[in-house]
Amino acid sequence: MSAMRGSLPLLSLVLVAAPVVAQGKHNTNAPIDFGADQIELQDKANRAVLTGNVAVRQAEMTLNAQRLNVAYTGAVVDGNPQVSRLDASGGVTVRRPDQTARGQYAIYDLNRRVITMLGAVRLTQGPNTVNGARLTINLDTGRAIIDGSAVRGGNGSGAAGNVQQAPTGRVTGTFSVPNRN
């Protein structure tokens, strides 16, 4: 196990997404650039753990969090590990050109090209806001589904395994209405 300490700028160390055919609104084949206060490489577990002010960019999409677990397959293409999944926790924000989503946790499954966010999720697009418990974004189609599945965070440790079911849940929000004078 090796560790790098100190402040890392947004690196050009590239983690390449598993090969997929890019379709729709997001280029899931684009390299993933990242930066964090600290990174711990766990080579035998095919994992990297980034902590502190984590910033990730893939094409036009960014993800910010306090912690990020990067799972890779062990396969190396052009000297780069093949990333299969990103698990983010701690004030997660995902920004795309037309929308911003915030939540407690996010899982980016690169093979399925889907981001799932959990815990007090808020999706904004222009003046429109939708709040719920779980958000699923299909990066191929650009379709976002938010539901009130009543998911809430556990003990705040950042482990997605601490997500619990609450008794009820609803989706709420505000949609803007054009001025019709």
For the stretch 68-106, pLDDT in tens is: 999 988 777 887 778 999 999 999 999 998 899 999 999
Give domain status of residue 181, yes or no: no
What confidence score (pLDDT) does residue 167 get? 46
32 contacts 14 by C-beta, under 8 angstroms:
yes
pLDDT score of 109: 96
In a domain, 104, yes or no: yes
pLDDT digits (tens, 9 = 90+) for 147-160: 886 544 444 443 44
Residue 12 lies in a domain: yes
Which has the closest alpha carbon to 11: 50, 61, 69? 50
What separation in angstroms does the CA of 106 have from each of 58, 130, 167? 15, 17, 22
First to last CA, the chain: 65
Measuring CA to CA, which residue among 27, 119, 103, 22 is closest to residue 63?
103
For residue 3, give both structure tokens: 């560790």
Residue 180 placed within a domain: no
Residue 179 placed within a domain:
no
For residue 71, give its domain range.
2-174
Q: In this structure, what token pair is assigned to residue 168?
A: 């009820």
Query: Is pTM, for the whole model, over 0.85?
Result: no
Task: Please tell me whether residue 161 adopts helix, strand or coil conformation.
Answer: helix
∠ CA 67-72-77, nearest 5°, is 130
CATH code at position 84: 2.60.450.10
pLDDT attached to residue 26: 82
Tally of domains within the chain: 1
Give strand ranges (E) for the chain. 2-4, 16-17, 32-35, 38-42, 47-58, 61-77, 80-96, 99-109, 114-125, 128-138, 144-147, 151-152, 164-165, 172-174
Can you list the residues of the chain whose pLDDT is less than 70? 1-24, 149-168
